[in-house]
Amino acid sequence: MNSSPNLRRLAALKAKSLHRRLRTIDSVDGIRVQRDGRVFVNFASNDYLGLAQHPALRAAAIEAVKEFGAGSGASRLITGTLAVHQELEAKLAVFKQTTAALTFESGYAAATGTIPALFGKGDIIILDKLVHACLIDGARLSGAEIRVYPHNRLDRLEELLKWARQKRPGSNILVLTESVFSMDGDLCPLSEIVELKEKYGAILLLDEAHATGVCGPGGAGLAAELGLGNRIEIQMGTLSKAVGSAGGFVAGDAALIDLLINSARTFIYSTAPTPAAVAAAIAGVSLISSPTGEQLRATLRDNVKRCRENQELTGSCGSAIVPIVVGSESEALRASEKLAEQGYLVPAIRFPTVPRNSARLRVTLSAAHEPKEILGLREAIAGAATEPIRLGLHRPDA
Ligand SMILES: *Cc1c(COP(=O)(O)O)cnc(C)c1O
C-alpha cells in the first residue's frame, strides 16, 4: 500500500496539534500509575470509586475464570450465555428498577446496537449537540433522519419535536441525551426533557455512563435521583467506569430487552463478554449499591468540592468531571505536559472529542484521591496556566 496519503494526513494532524499517540502505563498502584519509569497521580481515569482496583472485583474475576474459563467461547445466542451473564442482568434490572436488562461488550456496543435495532428510515432522532460519539454513530447507523439541538437548550429541543411531529405524524421520534455529560461534567435538565418527550409522544434514550455509581440513591443514576426511571423507555449505562469492570448495558421493559436480543447486531454477532469482566461487574454493582458505595460516593463528593475550590455542588448529583477549558489545542497540550512534569496525569481533550477551539484539560476525580494530591494538582494547574483560570466554572453556552 502506498503510504504517502496516510503520511500526509498524519502531518496535517500534527500541524494542528490534533495528533494523538498511545502512552503505555507499566504498572498500577491504586490511583498512582507508573509510566516511563516515573510515578504519576492519575487524574484521567473514569474509575470514579476506585473499584477497578478493589480486592472484591479482582477476586470475583479470578473465581469466574476458574469456574468458566478465560473466554465465553460463543455469542450469547449460541452457547455464550453463562450463569454469570444471567446473574449480572438480573442484578442490573434490580439496580435500575426495571423489569429487565441486557449487557453488551461495551457501552459503545450498547449504543450502536440498540439505536439501529429500534429506529430506522422514516424515523427521526433528535440529539443534544454534546452527546458521546457512540450515540451519534448509533443514530447514523440507524438510517433515521438526525436533528441536533444546542447543548441543553430546551426551547430548541421543543422546536424540533414540534417539527418532527408535524413532518411525520405516525413516525417514531427518539431523543438522545446523557445525564452527566462526559466532557463538561454538567447535567441535562432531565425532568423537563421527560415532560417534553411525553408532550410530543417521543421516546427517550438516556445514557448514564458518567452518573452510574456516582449519583442517585444507591448510585443508580440521575433518573433514579429524580424518580423518573419508569418514564424513560431506554436507560443505558456502562460497566467500564464507576462500576470498575468492562461492558455496557440497557435497562427497560421486557419487550424492549427481548427485541434487542433478537435484533441488536452488536449483541447478536459478537462473542459474549468474558466471565472475568461479567463477574467483576456483578461485584462492582453490589459494592455500589451497598453502604460501602455510599461512603465512597461521599468521599468522591468531598474530593470534587476540594478540587472545585469548595464551590457548592448543584444538588446531590455532582459529577466527578471538572473541565478546564483552555481553548487552543496547542495550549491545552502544553498545559497537560506541564502538569505531567509535576507528576499529575490530566489529559488534553481536543477536537473531534470536543468542538474546535474548546480544547480543555479534563480532570476526573476519584474516591481514591488523597486530599493532598488534589491540593497539589490545584497548585500545579494555577502554575501551568498562562492566565488565571478557575476550576469548574466553565459553562458551555455562556
Ligand atoms: C464512555 C462512554 C460510553 C462508552 O462506554 P464504554 O463502556 O467505554 O464503551 C458511552 N457513553 C458515554 C457518555 C461515555 O462517556
pLDDT of residue 286: 98
The ranges of the chain with pLDDT < 70 are 1, 310-316, 385-398
Per annotation, catalytic residue among 105, 128, 207, 208: 207
Under DSSP, is residue 176 helix (H, G, I), strand (E, B) or coil? Answer: strand
Question: For residue 107, how far is its CA from the centre of ligand 1 (angstroms)?
Answer: 5
* CA triple 208-121-255, angle to 5 deg: 50
Q: Is 248 in the pocket of ligand 1 (CB under 6 A)?
A: yes
The cell numbers describing 160, all together, are 424540533
Looking at the CA of residue 46, tell me the nearest atom of ligand 1.
1
What residues contact residue 184 under an 8 Å CB cut-off, 6+ apart? 130, 151, 321, 323, 394, 396
Rounded-to-integer distance, Cα 69 and Cα 172, Å: 42
The cell numbers describing 332, all together, are 491545552
Q: Is 209 in the pocket of ligand 1 (CB under 6 A)?
A: yes
Q: Is 177 in the pocket of ligand 1 (CB under 6 A)?
A: no
Show the beta-strand stretches assigned E in the chain.
Answer: 27-29, 32-35, 38-42, 100-104, 124-128, 145-149, 173-178, 203-207, 234-238, 248-252, 321-327, 344-345, 348-349, 359-364
Q: Encode burial over 119-130: b for 16+ CB neighbours within 10 A, e otherwise.
A: beeebbbbbbeb
From 184, 237, 248, select the one nearest 206 (Cα to Cα). 237
As a whole number of angstroms, the longest Cα–Cα distance in the chain is 62
pLDDT of residue 384: 77
Residue of 182, 205, 349 to test ligand 1 pocket, by largest number of atoms within 8 Å of CB? 182
pLDDT of residue 202: 98
Under DSSP, is residue 34 helix (H, G, I), strand (E, B) or coil? Answer: strand
pLDDT of residue 94: 98
Domains present along the chain, CATH in parentheses: 19-48+291-384 (3.90.1150.10), 55-288 (3.40.640.10)
Number of residues that this document lists for the chain:
398
Q: What is the pLDDT of residues 186-212, one digit of tens each?
A: 999 999 999 999 999 999 999 999 999
- 357 backbone φψ class: left, alpha, beta (φ>0; ψ -120 to 50): left
Rounded-to-integer distance, Cα 290 and Cα 31, Å: 22
Residue of 114, 129, 132, 249 to test ligand 1 pocket, by largest number of atoms within 8 Å of CB? 132
pLDDT of residue 396: 39
Question: For residue 346, how far is its CA from the centre of ligand 1 (angstroms)?
Answer: 19
Return the C-alpha torsion angle 105, 107, 109, 111, nearest 10. Answer: 150
207 included as an active-site residue:
yes
The terminus-to-terminus CA distance of the chain in angstroms comes to 48
**Residue whose CA lies nearest to ligand 1 atom number 4:** 107
pLDDT of residue 114: 98
Q: Is 180 in the pocket of ligand 1 (CB under 6 A)?
A: no
